[in-house]
Amino acid sequence: MSNEATLHTHDVHAHDHGHEHGHDEHEHHEQHFFSKYIFSMDHKIISRQFLITGIFWAIVGGLMSVFFRLQLGFPEQTFKVLSAFLGDWAKNGKMDPEMYYGLTTIHGTVLVFFVLTGGLSGTFSNFLIPLQIGARDMASPFLNMLSFWFFAVAGVVMFGSLFITTGPASGGWTTYPPLSALKEASMGSGLGMDLWLISMALFVVSSLLGGINYIVTILNMRTKGMTMTRLPLTIWAFLFTAVLGVLSFPVLLSAAVLLLFDRHAGTSFYLSEIFMAGKALPNVGGSPILYQHLFWFLGHPEVYIIMLPAMGMASEILSTHSRKPIFGYLAMVLSIMGITVLAFLVWAHHMFVTGMSPFLGGVFVLLTLLIAIPSAVKVFNWLTTIWKGNIRFTVPMLFALGFVSLFISGGLTGLFLGNSALDIHLHDTYFVIAHFHIVMGISAFFGMFAGIYHWYPKMYGRFMNNTLGYIHFFVTFIGSYVIFWPMHYEGVAGMPRRYYDFSAWESFKQFGELNQMISIAAIIVFFAQLLFVFNYFVSIWKGKKVTDPNPWQANSLEWTTPIKPGHGNWDGPIPEVHRWAYDYKDNGEGGDFIPQHIPLKDGEESH
Amino acid sequence: MSGLLLVFLVVLIFVVLYQVSRSSEIVAQIQGEEAFDKKRNKILGYSMLVLFAAFMIGIVWCHQYMMPLMGPEAASDHGQQYDFMFEVTLWVTGSVFLLTQFLLFWFSFKYKRVGNKTPHFFAHSTKLELIWTSIPAIAMAVLVAIGLKAWFTMTDKAPKGAMQIEIIGKQFNWISRYPGPDMELGKKYYTNINEKDNILGLDWKDKATKDDIIIPNGELRFVKGKPVELIIGSRDVIHDVGLSHFRMKMDAVPGISSRLWFTPLFTTEEMKSKTGNPNFVYELSCDQMCGKGHYSMRAIIIVETQAEHDAWLAKQQSYYVQNHPDEFPAPAAEPVKTDSTKK
């Protein structure tokens, strides 16, 4: 394979693993800056490209939420900062409702797709799959590079849509037609919506290129001895994440293409019997509900595309830093599979109140609540993993623990929303906002932060600053609950989401003071994230250097590479695997872990 | 300028924090990494307890702050069912929540590393795993059972004799239509719509439309204790009829007619005394993103007694009469028949 051929040069020069060496030391053939850092085919560089792009989008999306929280918390006041950033969309410091909806829409879109899909699974699938299964790179480094560049272009298109006169898409991240199909319906449904659809289409391409690559790599390129049941749980999670993506993203693409047809080719897939802007449109016979089915057929698996990598990384990190094997490895794998299968069978629980058949709704209630079972198994297994452990409160461990706490809190409220008779009231209220932000927003972010702090030493050969990490954890953990916990109450009171101003509503205006408090907390948490970003970038150059190739004393294969692995990962031959990834036990020499590449001792039973 | 200063200030704070925290690394080197880590680990272990306590106190405090702000009990029969189910679900999830969060923080504290120890190799237990697969499964079965029972009652056909009212959403207000004396909502089609004299596109060829009453601000009037069925539709984009006091909601989708029924339990006046709020009013909110005026798509609902309702109906003129005054010499000759209950 050409892949092997290009990488072969590294094999020739075996290095001593124990010593640190600068990353350029073994780059014997000169690589141009462009091919090394920009159009790189090294999965490690590509993963960092995904991560840094994700960080960029997280700041943009986070800043948007600060802006609309200013409006929600202080609807009477004006803010200079709004005019500074939004220009004419916030004349005299007062945000225009069109822009408010534009910001909420783009906030949702970029955080779900660009940050928690591209930035999370793009980063860690790329980084960890070859390193943890013992491969020199992805099955196709070239497609992998394309995957990033489609992602980048999707981002450019989305970013561009923020600057056009009619503003970005503003129909909510779900962009339901007819609102999103007719440019007369709102300003954001003009050019902004076209750009949104194009950007999504590019993102789907990126996601498919990446996903196929991940699946092929995991199935075909594991090193000798790395059977499927010896894979770390991270890899299982990435595998099923990729499967979910490959099977569901094409459906989103079809939804987007049909919507483009309705917008520009005069078709009526989603349109029927509409009177708009003073005239009756000719479209008859379509159904807006069709779009919702197509959208949620991706949309629901999408939340597991976000959650599974976070779950996988949390499992790995909880085990490593508790110095205990993950409890119930097989059950963990089966629950990932169970979640993957169920993810495709529950989409219509987003549509209980669309007027669809109540019987069908009933079926979806049953299937939806089934997801609670694998989720509960995972939670109890995590708890048992730390039980009787020897817990080191490193920053990644704190984030992994925070992940479990948030996953429990957010997961349980899913039992309310998944039950149609409760959803009939709670649907589209702040209860939903609280639920999904905790369970797939913040908790997935916690998984991602845990992963970043844990694998940063592998990425850059340095540690991130600990103290800032601890500050980041405590502010974010407490802040997230302060922001989202009270929203449950607002939702129970029926307060609808996507409202620009509540002050005219007798039923909801009593929450004004609370909304202020939430907004202030959101701003504080936002600055804590900037602190993280600062820590991330400064530590690349200033962080404490890693001196031990296995700083966390972990078992998985990535820690057998040099501190700063070059393209090809291992200088010598790829290590052979002899045991599962969770042998945290007495190694007979006073140590408490046995890495995967250490052969079984005489009489030792493999797990 | 002040913006730049602010950015500068934030960066400065970050740099200071970073420098200060680097000193902790230096302290670590002086004290010896091992001893320093041990001490820090112990402090963080205790902080898990503090965090849990703060979490629980926060929840109680939040609850006490929020409860007086929450609305009154559900004002419909289905809503009461909802309230009951909500409570059951809250007990189930609440106990799981307390148990698992407690274990998480307690284990974190209890099993903090204090020194090297031989790990407890405990990787698998079929018995335990069966227990915590089956208990959630049973709990889910219970929740699904009561949920579906309530769901099928709510979505069943409306009882005979239910009042029918049509509610139509458009950007950005609601329009309601009452059937008039013939108890029948006449046909309509969207191509008949015009803003001047046919805002819902009623088909005048259908006699049943002639006595239909249209309220352009979407005001809804229900009768206490009498089932009401809403016929829901939209003129343009998707809206949603959100009835938070009745704990019900249903999308308004163009081209599709959806339905919702329930029985209001308390009149507006009763709610005023129940809540102690003289300004209390039932509100209909749009709960599906519909454009820039989404947040202002409000309509008033009045729940009244049959007598009050009849008196109100008697004063209404049908939409046809309103818009074809030449056919009906003024003053509107034919008073609309009102007693709709006795048919």
Q: pLDDT tens for residues A55-64?
A: 999 999 999 9
Domain count along chain B: 2
Closest chain A C-alpha to B323 CA, distance in angstroms = 19
Six token digits for residue A437: 């932000």
Query: Percentage of residues in chain A with pLDDT exceeding 90?
Result: 87
In eight-state DSSP terms, residue A36 is I
Give residues with Cβ within 8 angstroms of A529, minimum separation 6. A58, A59, A62, A472, A476
Closest chain A C-alpha to B310 CA, distance in angstroms = 27
In eight-state DSSP terms, residue A277 is T
Per-residue pLDDT band at A183 (split at 50, 70, 90): very high
How far is residue A440 from each of residues A406, A411, A453, A457, measured CA to CA in Å? 9, 9, 19, 26
Residue A2: its pLDDT value, please?
Answer: 41
CB-CB contact of B148 with A359 (8 Å): no
pLDDT of B339 over the 80 cut = no
Residue B1: its pLDDT value, please?
Answer: 63
pLDDT of B168 over the 90 cut = yes
| Amino acid code (one letter) for B57 | I
Measured in degrees and rounded to the nearest 5, phi and psi for residue A136 equal -80, -30
pLDDT of A3 over the 50 cut = no
Residue B32: its pLDDT value, please?
Answer: 80
Q: Which residues of B touch A421 (CB under 8 A)?
A: 81-82, 85, 147-148, 150-151, 154
Cα–Cα distance for residue pair B66/B86, rounded to 1 Å:
17
Report which of residues B305 and A588 the model is more confident about.
B305
Whether B82 and A422 lie within 8 Å, measured CB to CB: yes
Measured in degrees and rounded to the nearest 5, phi and psi for residue B242 equal -105, 120
Whether B123 and A329 lie within 8 Å, measured CB to CB: yes
pLDDT of B257-293, one tens digit each? 999 999 999 999 999 999 999 999 999 999 999 999 9
CB-CB contact of B15 with A537 (8 Å): no
pLDDT of A182 over the 70 cut = yes
Residue A29: its pLDDT value, please?
Answer: 58
Q: Which of B40, B100, B196 has the highest number of chain A CBs within 10 A, making it the mutation to test binding with A?
A: B100
pLDDT of A68-97, one tens digit each? 999 999 999 999 889 989 989 998 889 999
B95 with B189, same domain: the answer is no
B309 with B179, same domain: the answer is yes
User: Is B148 among the domain residues?
Assistant: yes
Nearest to B71 by CA among A385, A114, A544, A506: A506
Query: Percentage of residues in chain A with pLDDT exceeding 70?
Result: 95
Residue B329: its pLDDT value, please?
Answer: 64
B140 with B171, same domain: the answer is no
User: Is B120 among the domain residues?
Assistant: no
B170 with B306, same domain: the answer is yes
pLDDT of A297-320, one tens digit each? 999 999 999 999 999 999 999 999
If you average pLDDT over every residue of chain A, what do you get?
Answer: 91
pLDDT of A228 over the 80 cut = yes
| Amino acid code (one letter) for A240 | F
B146 with B187, same domain: the answer is no
Whether A428 and B195 lie within 8 Å, measured CB to CB: no
Nearest to B254 among A273, A408, A474 (CB): A273
Which chain A residues in 192-251 lie under 8 Å from chain B, judged by CB atoms? none
B143 with B253, same domain: the answer is no
pLDDT of B227-244, one tens digit each? 999 999 999 999 999 999
User: Is B204 among the domain residues?
Assistant: yes
B91 with B200, same domain: the answer is no
Residue A305: its pLDDT value, please?
Answer: 95
Per-residue pLDDT band at B20 (split at 50, 70, 90): confident
pLDDT of A443-486, one tens digit each? 999 999 999 999 999 999 999 999 999 999 999 999 999 999 99
pLDDT of A10 over the 60 cut = no
**B84 reaches A (C-beta below 8 A):** no
User: Is B232 among the domain residues?
Assistant: yes
User: Is B189 among the domain residues?
Assistant: yes
pLDDT of B89 over the 60 cut = yes
Domains in chain A, ordered, with CATH?
Answer: 38-269+280-560 (1.20.210.10)
If you average pLDDT over every residue of chain B, what do you get?
Answer: 90
Cα–Cα distance for residue pair A179/B63, rounded to 1 Å:
38
B75 with B144, same domain: the answer is yes
pLDDT of A15 over the 90 cut = no
Q: Is B188 helix (H, G, I), strand (E, B) or coil?
A: strand
pLDDT of A509-558, one tens digit each? 999 999 999 999 999 999 999 999 999 999 999 999 999 999 999 999 99
Residue A411: its pLDDT value, please?
Answer: 95
Q: B104, B139, B155 — which closes off a domain?
A: B155
Per-residue pLDDT band at B331 (split at 50, 70, 90): low
**A331 reaches B (C-beta below 8 A):** yes
pLDDT of A344 over the 50 cut = yes
Six token digits for residue A497: 């989401």
Domain range enclosing B150 = 26-112+127-155
User: Is B335 among the domain residues?
Assistant: no
Whether B17 and A366 lie within 8 Å, measured CB to CB: no
What's this model's pTM, rounded to 2 decimal places? Answer: 0.93
pLDDT of B67 over the 80 cut = yes
Residue B114: its pLDDT value, please?
Answer: 83
Report which of residues B207 and A4 the model is more confident about.
B207
Residue A38: its pLDDT value, please?
Answer: 80
B93 with B135, same domain: the answer is yes
Residue A7: its pLDDT value, please?
Answer: 47
Closest chain B C-alpha to A586 CA, distance in angstroms = 6
Residue ranges of E strands in A32-110: none
B207 with B238, same domain: the answer is yes
Which chain A residues in 396-455 lie under 8 Å from chain B, judged by CB atoms? 398, 401, 404-405, 408-409, 412-413, 415-416, 419-422, 424-425, 427-429
